[in-house]
């Protein structure tokens, strides 16, 4: 361990989630957390735990994940960033490193998150397919119906029907969905979801439900009924992870 005062370091990172088993540490050591902690062990000579703003599932990507750790380092943040970047695989990028007050916490200090989900209408090429849900159907998605559905879902609601939580209600499932917007440009469709917090698979469930509306399997008003029911059913499909990006964490 380097001599000196223990400092809390806040780091911003981006990653391609495809080769990894999600963010959270796994026995096989193939989670993003495992890879970063392994690099920190090489730098500091001891186990240093990192704490992220939240977990991302296997196959989910990030442009703006945030994590923190505590360590003594006397050479400044840029040299720490260079040391971290030097031993990480190319699928993980350390974008920023800075010292923060000791009461900062990547998860508990966060006030909200922004996720982006990418759809592609048609048969996507090999460079688009890994990062979007390609929907190749004879009938095009009804984007206007999807926008009506998004308007119903926006706001403060109990989103239990759009989570993958199991068992009796233990967790508070009320969230303030500040933003749920759909933008289409050519064959590319982007769904932006911003809230004070998200539950397990909530964004992918919202996207799956909106796609079902676009396909005519659900009506926009069905989403209101699902919200009121508070129950997860097979009517809500979970969108594949490859189109989802954690874009930004707000503090």
Q: Which residues are catalytic?
A: 57
Task: Decide: 217 and 234 in contact? Cβ < 8 Å.
Answer: no
CB-based contact 88:81 (threshold 8 Å) = no
CA distance 220 to 151: 9
> Pairing between strand 244-250 and 61-72?
parallel
Residue 19, Cβ density class (10 Å: 0-12 exposed, 13-18 middle, ≥19 buried): middle
* Tokens matching residue 65: 């994940």
Cα–Cα distance list, 113 to 52, 181, 244, 248 (Å): 13, 14, 13, 6
């Amino acid at each position: 361990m380097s001599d000196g005062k223990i400092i809390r370091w806040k780091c911003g990172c981006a990653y391609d989630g495809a080769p990894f088993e999600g963010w959270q540490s796994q026995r096989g050591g193939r989670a993003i957390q495992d890879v970063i902690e392994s690099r920190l062990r090489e730098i500091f000579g001891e186990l240093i735990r990192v704490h992220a703003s939240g977990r991302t599932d296997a196959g989910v990507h990030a442009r703006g994940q945030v994590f923190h750790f505590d360590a003594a380092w006397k050479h400044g943040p840029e040299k720490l960033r260079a040391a971290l970047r030097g031993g990480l695989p190319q699928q993980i990028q350390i974008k920023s490193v800075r010292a923060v007050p000791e009461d900062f916490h990547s998860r508990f200090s966060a006030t909200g998150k922004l996720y982006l989900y990418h759809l592609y209408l048609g048969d996507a090429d090999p460079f688009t397919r890994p990062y979007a849900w390609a929907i190749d159907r004879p009938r095009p998605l009804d984007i206007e119906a999807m926008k009506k559905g998004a308007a119903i879902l926006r706001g403060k609601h109990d989103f239990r029907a759009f989570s993958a939580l199991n068992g009796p209600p233990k967790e508070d499932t009320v969230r303030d969905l500040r933003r749920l917007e759909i933008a289409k440009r050519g064959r590319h469709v982007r769904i932006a979801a911003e809230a004070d917090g998200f539950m397990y698979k909530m964004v992918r469930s919202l996207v799956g439900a909106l796609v079902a509306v676009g396909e005519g399997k659900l009506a926009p008003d069905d989403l209101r009924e699902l919200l009121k029911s508070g129950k997860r059913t097979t009517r809500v499909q979970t969108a594949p992870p490859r189109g989802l990006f954690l874009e930004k964490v707000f503090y």
